[in-house]
Amino acid sequence: MSIPSRVQIIDVGPRDGLQNEKTPVPAEVKVALVHRLQDAGLQEIEVTSFVSPKWVPQMADNVDVMAGIERKAGVRYSVLTPNLQGYEAAVKTRPDEIVVFGSASEAFSRKNINCSIAESIERFAPVVEAALAAGIRVRGAMSCTVGCPYEGEVAPRQVAYLAGLMKGIGVQRVDVADTIGVGTPYKVQRAIEATLQHYGIDAVSGHFHDTYGQALSNTLAALELGVWNFQASVSGLGGCPYAKGATGNVATEDLVFMLQGMGIETGIDLDKLVDAGAYISDFLGRKPNSRVAVAVLNKRAG
């Protein structure tokens, strides 16, 4: 398999990146971040989630954020929907894609969405059916595909099992997520290969948190298998509230820099992306959590 010549990136910063922020981020700031990301050339943006505001207070403004976005033609806006209640609220905001999110480990499923893997699939099934009937695309996030904060190492057969369940209810494409960033290249390849038992390569996306600094190496390992869809978080924002200590996804700036250097097309303007990251980092009062962004900003400063 040769390395893909083009990569499609979903920026998950507004959702995965901000969901765990303790300081409330106003809806206008989230909207302004989405606008900056689309101006930088991102064609897919994971905007928010329709989950319980008691569980994830930062996403309580989901309706306002979706309503505030001036949509750009050719950009796909996705939102997380864990159950029918979330879907029914989400659908009114006209998402292009909804995301159901399950886990390859039982313990994380219970901590994150308060039910077993089997129960989660029962909850997702009517959501997927309703979305497809309404012409909305459906993605499935698969958490803990290499490691779980509660169970430790996760076997590839658990990933294959979840991928098979997702396929069975009609989920169109899936994310192989390393929720806590413990994956290393061969382990990530095994998780992707397990997913490929049920999904074609075009329907698989890599979602790598960078907690242990492995996300770019894992991306390269996934590229070697032919994966060409990846998720990243501008400025390296984020973490999951139910995976203690886990940090954000690979920074979109770092991913784009690597891909550009490899001659792989992304359609993203790195300078504008760095501006988007600087905007949200300034708001949060910290430096971007991206080596590339910091290097570019230092170079600009002279």
* Residues making contact with Mg ion (CB under 5 A): 16
* Min separation Cβ 104 and Mg ion, Å: 13
Contact partner, 279, from ligand HMG, Mg ion, none, Cβ < 5-8 Å per class: none
Distances (CA, A) of 106 to 76, 84, 114: 31, 21, 10
Tell me which residue of 147, 206, 177 sits closest to 9, measured CA to CA.
Answer: 206
Chain positions 161 to 180 lying near ligand HMG, rule: CB under 6 A, are 177, 179
Binds ligand HMG (CB under 6 A): choice among 105, 143, 218, 247: 143
Rounded to whole angstroms, how far apart are CA atoms 277 and 256? 13
Rounded to whole angstroms, how far apart are CA atoms 125 and 152? 28
The verdict on 101 binding ligand HMG (CB under 6 A) reads yes
Residue 26 DSSP label: P
Neighbours of 224 (CB within 10 A): 15
Q: Are strands 137-143 and 97-103 parallel, antiparallel or unpaired?
A: parallel
* Min separation Cβ 132 and ligand HMG, Å: 19
Tell me which residue of 289, 262, 302, 301 sits closest to 2, measured CA to CA.
Answer: 262
The verdict on 141 binding ligand HMG (CB under 6 A) reads yes
Rounded to whole angstroms, how far apart are CA atoms 191 and 212? 18
By CB under 6 A, the count of residues binding ligand HMG is 25
Contact partner, 83, from ligand HMG, Mg ion, none, Cβ < 5-8 Å per class: ligand HMG
Chain positions 243 to 302 lying near ligand HMG, rule: CB under 6 A, are none
Active-site residue identified among 115, 144, 148, 240 = 240
Rounded to whole angstroms, how far apart are CA atoms 271 and 40? 8
The verdict on 160 binding ligand HMG (CB under 6 A) reads no
Q: Is residue 240 annotated as a catalytic residue, yes or no?
A: yes
Question: Which residues contact ligand HMG by CB under 6 A?
Answer: 16, 19, 49-52, 55-56, 80, 82-83, 85-86, 101, 112-114, 141, 143, 177, 179, 207, 209, 240, 242
Catalytic positions, written as ranges: 240
